[in-house]
Amino acid sequence: MSAFRRALMALFPALVLALSGCAGGPSRSLTNALAAEPDAIVATHNILVATTRAKADDPSEVYGGGRGDELGFARVNVTVPRVHSSGRLEGPRNGARRDASKHFAASEIALFPKEQDFGNALRENLARTDGRALVFIHGYRTAFDGSIYRAAQIVHDSGYAGTPVLFSWASTGRTVDYIYDNNSATVARDGLEKTLRLLRASGAKRIDIIAHSMGNWVTMEALRQIAIADDQSVAGALGDVVLASPDIDVDVFKTQLQRIGKLDRPFLVMVSRDDRALLVSSILAGSRPRVGDYDKDEDLASLGVTVIDVSALESGDRLNHARFADNPLLIQLLGQRLNEDDSLGGDGDQVTRRLETLAQGLGQTIGSAAEIIITTPFEVINVAVGGAR
């Protein structure tokens, strides 16, 4: 065990309190935001939703943290304020009311009473985006409204041009419910599998996936089930699968990959050695390492995945758990990968040039000098980024 990890384990009680401190906060209502003038809004994103959540007791929250008996379907239109900064997820603090001129806000909510209605909406959207879809699966301790706003932020900051779909599983949004959330993630694997099949049946030609934290468990289990069923229709439509900060036991992850089999496109696994949220998960799991903070990149890469170590980059999250979305360089790198297909392809020199060009285009706003370490099944690439221009 590293000295850093031992030090963090000594701080375990404080970390739990830090996580708990994030669990309260503003109302989870999606319908009470203050309206904004049109010129205060920079964009509106229509997020299609499939969820294993039960309806919320408060109708303004739409879906809560309980588990539903069947998949629910919705569309939520989310506005992005003109004052938005890339990588940030602007929202109110201390229970204040959401203001669309300053924060991400839901402008319209539609529930689909039948699966067929959701399928029709998918079909219409996919026809406009050339059959491209991106499915985002959130992580532990995420309420429904938080999953909606994060999905919109990812779509906006990455510049993704396809149809965005949120798969929202039954997380309570509370720190103390780690075991409940973990079980909810397991319950949701059939729902995600069904959602991927619905996408394919509705005309999806390419399905990209971004999963975060415990959402990776849902994702890997659903893909494992598809592999067991030998469903070439869905498997053949998979594009990029981005696994950010996976909260999965390393040995379990290896067996999942083995069952999924040879990958046409290597999964992208984003890891951080200083991920404090995963440290807590590791301790709860009996000090078993999680994939997202595993320190043997070449070991993972030998299984056919590409490992991206982003430990040295700045994070907008004090737990260093959401760099994939809150670091401007990373979220735009993801956008390039998803929209252009090959931003991490090619040899090491090509990858380095792409990343350096992207960093320069961001005006070196990504923070102090650092590096991204990319370990593919074939080579290790070190890319220096950041610092003064």
- DSSP per position, 132-192: EEEEEE--SS--HHHHHHHHHHHHHHHT--SEEEEEE----S-GGGHHHHHHHHHHTHHHH
pLDDT of residue 6 exceeding 60, the answer is no
The residue to which tokens 């995963």 are assigned: 278
Between the two ends of the chain, the Cα-to-Cα distance in Å is 38
pLDDT at 329: 85
pLDDT of residue 50 exceeding 80, the answer is yes
CA gap 123, 131 in Å, rounded:
9
Residue 152 near residue 227 (C-beta atoms within 8 A): no
pLDDT at 364: 44
Closest CA to 213 of 180, 179, 248, 189: 248
pLDDT of residue 10 exceeding 80, the answer is no
pLDDT at 349: 61
Mean predicted confidence (pLDDT) in 31-36: 96
Confidence band of 348 (pLDDT split at 50, 70, 90)? low
DSSP codes joined into one string, 72-84: EEEEEEEEEETT-
pLDDT at 382: 83
pLDDT of residue 343 exceeding 60, the answer is no
Edge to edge, the sheet with strand 163-168 lists: 105-112, 63-81, 41-55, 163-168, 132-137, 206-212, 238-244, 268-271, 306-309, 370-375, 380-385
The residue to which tokens 């039954």 are assigned: 170
Q: Where are the domains of the chain?
A: 3-347
Beta bridge partners of 290: 249
Mean pLDDT, the chain, whole residue set: 88
Among the ranges given (39-53, 88-102, 299-313, 335-349), the one the predictor scored with the smallest mean pLDDT = 335-349
Percent of the chain clearing pLDDT 90 (strictly above): 72
pLDDT at 64: 98
pLDDT of residue 80 exceeding 60, the answer is yes
pLDDT at 377: 87
Mean predicted confidence (pLDDT) in 189-198: 98
pLDDT of residue 302 exceeding 60, the answer is yes
- Report the b/e string of 333-371 with b at 16+ CB within 10 A: bbbbbbeeeebbeeeeeebbebbeebbeeeebebbeebb
Mean predicted confidence (pLDDT) in 298-308: 94
Report the predicted TM-score, pTM, of the whole model to 2 decimal places: 0.90
pLDDT at 355: 57
pLDDT of residue 83 exceeding 50, the answer is yes
Residue 173 near residue 53 (C-beta atoms within 8 A): no
CA triple 264-232-188, angle to 5 deg: 95
Question: CB atoms < 10 A from the CB of 168, how many?
Answer: 28
Residues in the chain, overall count: 389
More confident residue, 166 or 22: 166
pLDDT at 242: 96
pLDDT at 212: 98
More confident residue, 316 or 110: 110
pLDDT at 333: 84
Residue 311 near residue 273 (C-beta atoms within 8 A): yes
Match domain 3-347 to its CATH number in 3.40.50.2300, 3.40.50.1820, 2.40.30.170, 3.40.605.10.
Answer: 3.40.50.1820
CA count, 13 A, side-chain hemisphere, 44: 14
The residue to which tokens 């203001």 are assigned: 99
Rg (CA), the chain: 20
**Ranges 126-130, 336-340, 371-375, 384-388, most confident:** 126-130
Residue 366 near residue 329 (C-beta atoms within 8 A): yes
Closest CA to 8 of 316, 290, 313, 278: 278
CA count, 13 A, side-chain hemisphere, 24: 8
CA gap 348, 379 in Å, rounded:
8
Percent of the chain clearing pLDDT 70 (strictly above): 85
3-state secondary structure of 348: helix
